[in-house]
Chain A
Amino acid sequence: MTHPATSPTINIEIDIASENSFVIYFGDRHSTSISAQVSSQIAATAQHIKSSLGGCLVDLVSSYASLLVIYNSLQHDHLWVRHQLQQVLNTAIEQQQDPSKLIQLPVFYSPQYGPELPLLARNAGLSLDQIIDLHCATQYRVYAIGFAPGFAYLGEVDPRLATARLATPRLKVPAGAVAIADRQTAVYPAQSPGGWNLIGLCPTPMFNAEQQTHMPVAVGDRVQFYAIDQQQYLDLGGELHEF
């Protein structure tokens, strides 16, 4: 929960993205630092925009410091849409509420199935258990969803865990792989190529096309990992693949 009286004002600007979309920037758009406060404001604003634009809204993309709003330009023109967005921004700032929920995800941390776990330990000068404890200690925020269906960008990991992407991406990263790139962490929803550092496996499906709720998390939610052993991982439906 953020209160306007206690939080610094975030500069918000509406810009043109295309013939039928606006991009709303939160904060200094030249900055590459990320902020939980900004993310929370984006999540709240997105909810307001959905009700404000109604059937004219085609799609929304929430990201680290921006919100892309795609609208039906034959239903309402850009002047009307920009006006609606400005109204939302004027009111959303006053009524700001953090709609996030906390999701706990189990991880089977293992040097065998998370081959970069020893690398992280060496880089940080810590034991494997200390690395695992650090990864589990933080409540991460879902900053963006993209790259692939169900891929949630979580941040930020403890600086001691920050690790650059692999010089050569793997052709196959297994579904459920828990990974780190710079100060971000994620669970690969499906097998795909990928260059992130792998530290373990999560048995919780991150994307399910068949179920009503396709993803356990949404942008703005918080995620915390907890460690499980191999047997618990298998009991929860996890699968083991050789590298």
Chain B
Amino acid sequence: MSFNVVQPGLLSTLQDLGRFGQHSVGLTTGGPLDTEAFAWANRILHNPANACAIELSFGGLHLRAQSQTYICVTGATLDLTINGQTKQLWCSHKVAEGDDIKLGYSQQGCRSYIAVAGGFTITPSFGSTSTVVREKIGGLNGLKLAANDQLPCAQTTELKRQALAMEHWPNYTKNDATSCTKLRLVPGYQYPWFDPSAQLRFFHNQYQVTDRSDRMGMRLNGPDVSCATQSMLSEGICLGAVQIPADGQPIVLLNDRQTIGGYPKIGSVIAIDTAKLAQLRPGNLVHFEAIDLYQAHTINTLAKLKFNATELLEISPRSRSHHD
């Protein structure tokens, strides 16, 4: 009962919601960069929210099913085929032993998720199956997927198929887009250390995503917002923290960040927007907008209500052709 990895793609890793409560031994959280797309993949398959799925960066994964089950692909737009037949994203599909599942390269967005009914059955390390390659923890021996890996899962012969209506699919930025993604940030940490002109520059300019970006953090390029004070004691770093090193170029820290660091931070981007940021590619533009904790709380509460209130479409065997 498993999937065989034929082609792993550029960076495909097993992830659950992340590793929590382990910062005291220096372990970071890991987990899906785009928690919304990850959550939909599991929900469409009736999985628990923390079920283990694969995160792909830039796509390019080829799996072969070794047993009967159901899969679902969400996130960045890409071509999904099962035995050469094009299949819909954000929708569950039945697969049988020997089926070839191919995910092409991502066209809009960057991170995609492929989940399986019941989740991949991986032994958790420190309470989580999330792979953090830098720490060699989680997934299969702490590594990204490689050709010939076996990904164990349970056999599922019957499952009510579901899909997310297209009107609810997130809009991922086109790769040639000139549009600018808004990142909402709660000013915090060393915010008062930045002089008012640096604060203004930070909130009134666009920044470009550079190619020196990974699961640890997104390095941005734009007007210098360097902080006069560079010398500080290392302190805990949270998800979304915007670190400003001496060169004045912001780094937005993501899931695989180091747990402590000693650069000044102007504030932290909310998780809903780090998910959007992680879907961008080098060259895409962002700008920052300051919000307070009350606004952040409202945004998060509404997002959760919306996720829970959004009903999935049920796919009856008769209506298959419309959704396959």
Contact = CB atoms under 8 A, between A and B. Distances in A.
B84 interface: no
B188 A17 contact: yes
A146 B187 contact: no
A74 B231 contact: no
A216 B11 CA distance: 34
Contacts of A32: 231-233
Contacts of A214: 25, 126
A21 B238 contact: yes
Interface in B83-125: 125
Contacts, number: 134
Nearest to B126: A209
Contacts of A30: 229, 232
A19 B300 contact: yes
Interface in B168-194: 186-189
Q: Which size class do A's interface residues fall under?
A: 35 or more
A212 to B, nearest CB: 12
B314 to A, nearest CB: 28
Interface string A1-38: 00000000000000111111101000001111010000
Contact of B236 (A16, A61, A77): A61
Interface residues of B, number: 45
A146 B260 contact: yes
A162 interface: no
A157 interface: no
Interface in B221-255: 229, 231-241
Contacts of A34: 233
A181 to B, nearest CB: 12
A19 B236 contact: no
Nearest to A64: B233
B259 A16 contact: no
Nearest to A209: B125
Contacts of A64: 233-235
Given A145-B24, A149-B135, A70 B238 contact: yes
A146 B258 contact: yes
B59 to A, nearest CB: 30
B241 A18 contact: yes
A65 B20 CA distance: 22
B244 to A, nearest CB: 15
Contacts of A15: 188-189
21 contacts: A15-B189, A16-B293, A17-B265, A18-B270, A19-B296, A19-B300, A21-B268, A23-B188, A29-B232, A59-B23, A63-B233, A63-B236, A64-B234, A67-B236, A74-B300, A78-B293, A144-B260, A148-B26, A149-B137, A207-B26, A214-B25
Contacts of A219: 24
B26 A151 contact: yes
Contact of A145 (B25, B241, B300): B25
Given A23-B236, A30-B229, A145-B26, A18 B297 contact: no
B157 interface: no
Q: Could you say which of A59, A63, A147 has the most chain B C-beta atoms within 10 Å of its C-beta?
A: A59
Interface string A137-158: 0000000111111110100000
Contacts of A63: 233-236, 260
A16 B186 contact: yes
